[in-house]
């Protein structure tokens, strides 16, 4: 799997406005996306408005948004890795994972009633939710070290949403748009998974169920080869820039299946069979 994000440049955490014209344009994209998340009016694809926009540019846009929202008092709850399954990479026509962030006010729990009107064009993905019991920071984090840092595993659903018009996105568009993160739902009862079993997560099965109908099924092997692999990848990418995954944070490693759209008065479930499940409801 091609890794195109290891050269992501961390934005300096400073209140000083960027002076370089290129950085000014990236900062303006960040402002547009923040406004779109509030107004629910999407913006045109960014790739069409900056010639040669790179993955590194897109992460700068994402980081500007993170810094502005942290400065406004929002609390970082965790990170998400996206585009880790063949189903999602084929759906978006990419060959690389990406990552984003979410705040504590974006996290919902089992049986949550979530207004569909909070989103522009929502879809759902069934995932695992890793709660870290210790801080994890790369570079050099191995799969074994990443697994050892996981304190509990929960069923999870990511509600993805695009602030880009009509989901007309390329890799740079979705990265800039915080990896298309809309909200997170996570169970309150851990899945009965033995983390000392090296193949336990690899063979786990999960189905996405919309309004009682199974729309897709995958295994842990469909998530970047092993669902802990995205955690190690994320720790190493962020670690190269001095950023750690902190103890207590929730990390979502990516979807088992293709994402499916949801509307008001529908339900979505991540069904892990005898291990457990998570169901959420979308309201008017």
Q: Please tell me the predicted confidence (pLDDT) of residue 17.
A: 53
Domains of the chain: 21-283 (3.90.850.10)
First to last CA, the chain: 40
As a whole number of angstroms, the distance between CA 183 and CA 206 comes to 20
In 3D space, the residue among 159, 190, 178 whose CA is nearest the CA of residue 255 turns out to be 159
Q: What is the pLDDT at residue 33? A: 98
> What is this structure's pTM?
0.91
pLDDT at 242: 92
- Measured from the Cβ of residue 223, the count of other Cβ atoms closer than 10 Å reads 29
Phi-psi region of 220 (alpha: psi -120 to 50; beta: other; left: phi over 0): alpha
Give pLDDT tens digits along the chain (284 positions).
333 333 343 433 444 455 689 999 999 999 999 999 999 999 999 999 999 999 999 999 999 999 999 999 999 999 999 988 877 777 777 777 999 999 999 999 999 999 999 999 999 999 999 999 999 999 999 999 999 999 999 999 999 999 999 999 999 999 999 999 999 999 999 998 887 776 788 999 999 999 999 999 999 999 999 999 999 999 999 999 899 999 999 999 999 999 999 999 999 999 999 999 999 999 99
Taking alpha carbons only, the member of 179, 247, 221, 225 closest to residue 5 is: 179
């Amino acid at each position: 799997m091609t890794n195109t994000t290891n050269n992501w440049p961390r934005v300096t955490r400073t209140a000083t406005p960027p002076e370089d014209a290129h950085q000014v344009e990236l900062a303006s994209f960040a402002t547009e996306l923040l406004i779109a998340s509030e107004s629910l009016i999407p913006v045109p694809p960014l790739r069409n408005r900056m010639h040669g926009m790179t993955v590194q540019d897109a992460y700068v846009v994402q980081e500007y948004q993170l810094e502005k929202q942290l400065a406004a008092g929002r609390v970082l709850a965790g990170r998400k890795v996206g585009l880790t399954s063949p189903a999602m990479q084929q759906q978006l026509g990419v060959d690389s994972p990406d990552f984003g962030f979410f705040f504590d006010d974006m996290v919902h729990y089992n049986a949550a009633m979530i207004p569909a009107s909070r989103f522009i064009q929502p879809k759902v993905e069934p995932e695992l939710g890793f709660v870290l019991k210790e801080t994890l920071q790369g570079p050099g984090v191995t799969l074994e070290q990443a697994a050892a840092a996981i304190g509990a595993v929960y069923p999870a659903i990511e509600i993805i949403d695009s602030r880009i018009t009509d989901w007309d996105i390329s890799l740079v568009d979705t990265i800039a748009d915080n990896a298309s993160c809309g909200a997170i739902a996570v169970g309150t009862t851990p899945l009965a998974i033995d983390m000392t079993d090296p193949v336990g997560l690899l063979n786990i099965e999960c189905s996405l169920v919309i309004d009682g109908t199974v729309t897709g099924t995958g295994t842990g092997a469909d998530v970047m080869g092993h669902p802990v692999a995205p955690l190690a990848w994320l720790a190493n990418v962020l670690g190269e820039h001095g950023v750690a995954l902190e103890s207590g944070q929730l990390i979502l490693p990516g979807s088992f299946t293709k994402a499916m759209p949801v509307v008001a008065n529908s339900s979505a479930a991540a069904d892990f069979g005898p291990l457990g499940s998570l169901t959420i409801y979308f309201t008017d």
